Amino acid sequence: MIIVMNHDANQQEIDHVVTRLRQVGFNINLSEGVERTIIGAVGECAKLNDVAIAAMAGVEKVLPITRPYKMVSREFKDEDTVVKIGDIEIGGGDLQVMAGPCAVESREQLLTVAKQVKSAGAAILRGGAFKPRTSPYSFQGLEEEGLKFLAEAREITGLPIVTEVVDASTLPLLCKYADILQVGARNMQNFFLLREVAKTDKPVLLKRSPAATVEEWLMAAEYLLAGGNPNVMLCERGIKSFDTYTRNTLDLTAVPVVKHLSHLPVVVDPSHAIGNWRFVQTMSRAAVAAGADALIIEVHPNPAEALCDGPQSLTPKKFDRVMRDLQVITAALKNGLNSK
Ligand code: PEP
Ligand code: MN
């Protein structure tokens, strides 16, 4: 529920309401606006009668949260969440790009591409060390050795790293190296993993399952927030449709829809959605125009020899072109807004 305080409610009255709610087990999110304070509270509403919040000093009204997801919803928290990774902000108004290979394949491959994506303007380095593959015979990742190469690449380039956590048993290892934990599309509804990830202090990139509705995706994010981790980014990476020409169908409608329903930042992954490098530039433009806060793009020094997802990987040269193109798009969007 949402507790709207009177515009002249004092700090003591606000504290009093918050304390009472916490006493009966509610999770609290405080939004202190210029006009008034709004208190978001998630818990068992049956206990509300005992508390009689509406009658407390300084309370203007109590509103129920109507959505099945609570902490993730705009009803609970109206202002955009900005996820901070060092001094990089996701959701703060500036487009950020995460880039790198699908999988860490070798020290040389990773360090080469890390320097290349950095010089093209990427803010975050991606690379999988544990690879969940459709076939058990495909390359499964370098595991801890791969994480060490990622840490070395961060040391050299200064780029923070995003890498996938595939299960709870490897989570402590991932936390030792990663700046952002990626929960992959296949694990979006692995609720036991989500509960463990929620206990960490790492920002999370939560990919949408190819078969998940927007509501199921937001409910998965709710596990993370309800479990104590507010630093969640939602990543649209393509859903299944009847058309098999592209690997998946990039659901760009999800960007404005999710930003309307939730305060969490939205990241778009055109590489996994399309599965073909040719269309990555165009759909990156479209994602930014649709309101994405960040993109995650696969780049490989030599896609023809990639051990994983070569057909969708950009060469560093093509990635550089995409980055220059995106500067034009973001400037045009900013100019458009300023001229209104
Ligand atoms: C990836 O980012 O390398 C990946 C496996 O993505 P997804 O979980 O979206 O398939
Ligand atoms: Mn991949």
Task: Report pLDDT for 340.
Answer: 65
Q: Which of 269, 312, 313 has most ligand 1 atoms within 8 Å of CB, for mutation?
A: 269
Q: Which of 102, 235, 272 has most ligand 1 atoms within 8 Å of CB, for mutation?
A: 272
Distance from residue 336's CA to the centre of ligand 1 (Å): 34
Residue range 2-63, CATH number: 3.30.70.1140
Ranges in the chain annotated CATH 3.30.70.1140: 2-63
Q: Which residues are paired to 233 by β-bridges?
A: 205
**Which residues are found with C-beta within 5 Å of the ion, ligand 2?**
102, 309
Cα torsion 326, 89, 114, 312 to 10°: value is: -50
Distance from residue 236's CA to the centre of ligand 1 (Å): 11
Q: Which ligand is nearest to the CA of 237?
A: 1
C-beta 205 within 6 A of ligand 1? no
How many other C-beta atoms are found inside a 10 Å radius of the C-beta of residue 57?
12
Q: Which residue has the higher pLDDT, 297 or 29?
A: 297
CB 246 within 8 A of CB 278: no
Q: What is the pLDDT of residues 223-232, one digit of tens each?
A: 999 899 999 9
Task: Report pLDDT for 51.
Answer: 64
CB 322 within 8 A of CB 314: yes
Which one, of 117, 120, 88, lies nearest residue 233 by Cα? 88
Task: Report pLDDT for 221.
Answer: 98
Ranges in the chain annotated CATH 3.20.20.70: 83-338
Q: What is the pLDDT of residues 58-110, one digit of tens each?
A: 999 898 888 899 899 998 898 999 999 999 999 999 999 999 999 999 999 99
Tell me the two tokens of residue 287: 């994602």
Residue range 83-338, CATH number: 3.20.20.70
The average pLDDT across 311-334 equals 97
CB 127 within 8 A of CB 104: yes
